[in-house]
Amino acid sequence: MDSIIRNTITVGLPALMLFIAIVATGKTGDAAVWSGLVKVGGSFGMPIGLGVLVFVGFVANYFSYFLVDSLLVRFYQKRRELEPPEQLVTEIDKLPITNDLKIKLKWAVIHSSNYKIISLKHVISKWFILAAIVGALLSIAGYLGEFNILFELSSHFKLQYLLVGFSTFIFFALVRSKKTWLLVSAFCIIINLAEIVPWYFPPPALAGATAGQNLRILHSNVLRSNRRYSEVISLVKAEQPDIAVFVEVNSSWAKQLSVLSEIFPYSSTQQESERFGSAIYSKLPLENSSVKAFSNQRKSLSADVKFQGKIISLLLAHPTVPIKQKSFINRNKQLAAIGEYAAQVKNPLIVVGDLNTTMWSPFYKNMVKTGNLRNARSGFGILPTWPTFMPLAYIPIDHFLVSKEIGVLKIRTGRNVGSDHLPLITDLVI
């Protein structure tokens, strides 16, 4: 009986996923199954969809042992408090279950107090094993981000996978677990350290960088639902940037930010809709301001700035959020177009904004490679900026990207101003 229940769970969960995917496609007949597999696999198609279902089946089988065994063990441990163990052992012998489960139940009945300790340790170990496996698999999946939206999303949480790897490694070392799980944890640590550590290497020394000759820029995704207008204005006044740029500026924010004109005599704004817009406020003259349409959504704002006798091009971008296949494709199109645009700009270039991607996405890597750009945070750490409402999930999706003519003196995050993003502030030299 227990094996039937386990097999039902093992097959049932992937089958349920496939059924939901088939319903979502709206197709019937033989084409429905194929379309459902394609839906599960996303942009990579049917093979990955099939692989996902197989993986889910393995996980479901793993948990089915927890479900069936734990429930029966608890059931008989409770009854042992009221009934003699000999009677329960006789009853267990007559149950239509596998011999392995019978032995486990008899042990729980005869050695009830000891079994509670063993069972708790067993459950905790299983959870750590599962965490190690999932952490390692997700670490690998991120490198396949070009093929599937889910894989690409998994590429962003390197810091979290690293913490999981360290946690599981320490646990397995303390309980003297099998070397297999120590190796899996070590793999998780190494593969993520390789992606994180280089961001903390010190940047090259900047010859001739003198205080007062730097260009300070502040960037903030203000969050259109945020009403803490005064905190953003206060931050700008405290940081005293030469240029302040903002994204997710709705009509209310556009009105509130207009007070900055008292400090910044030059500005350029674009209001794409009631909900979305962007703004550049500058103490330096802005020239050739224009709106760039790198796709049919989320337009970018560009301008030239004259600083210390040199013309610097500035691009403020805010690509779409890649939570659905359509927006995923759109964001990737925008990133690719930004890279191509950067490659054609002759002036020193600064690309700034909430790019809705981290440095570990293959689409980000292609963009900076095509545009010959580098991230200003290089040498200063990964500097996570989002989401402020869930610090354990912090990832760096706000960026300053600069061309080779521009040096970075410093970059840091600002204080929380009520948005789901932290502001980003950098000091640059030409």
Determine the pLDDT at residue 117: 46
**Confidence at residue 324, expressed as pLDDT on a 0 to 100 scale:** 87
Mean pLDDT score across all residues of the chain: 86
Using one digit for the tens of pLDDT, what is the confidence trace for 19-72?
Answer: 777 776 666 666 777 777 776 665 456 676 777 777 777 767 766 766 677 677
**Computed over its alpha carbons, how large is the radius of gyration of the chain?**
28
Q: Is the pTM of this model over 0.75?
A: no
* 268-317 per-position pLDDT tens digit: 999 888 788 999 999 999 999 999 988 888 899 999 999 988 999 999 99
Q: Beta-carbon neighbour count of residue 201 at 10 Å?
A: 9
380 Cβ contact list (under 8 Å, min separation 6): 199, 200, 203, 408, 410, 411, 412
Helix residue spans in 280-352 (DSSP H): 325-344
Lowest mean pLDDT among 58-62, 171-175, 331-335: 58-62
197 — pLDDT class (breaks 50, 70, 90) = very high
Give me 308's structure tokens.
């210390």
d(CA 228, CA 48): 45
Query: CA 360 from chain center: how many Å?
Result: 10
Checking if the pLDDT of 121 tops 70, the result is no
pLDDT tens per residue across span 150-160:
899 999 999 99
Burial of residue 344 (number of CB atoms within 10 Å: 0-12, 13-18, 19+): exposed
User: What separation in angstroms does the CA of 197 have from each of 134, 225, 382?
Assistant: 22, 35, 9
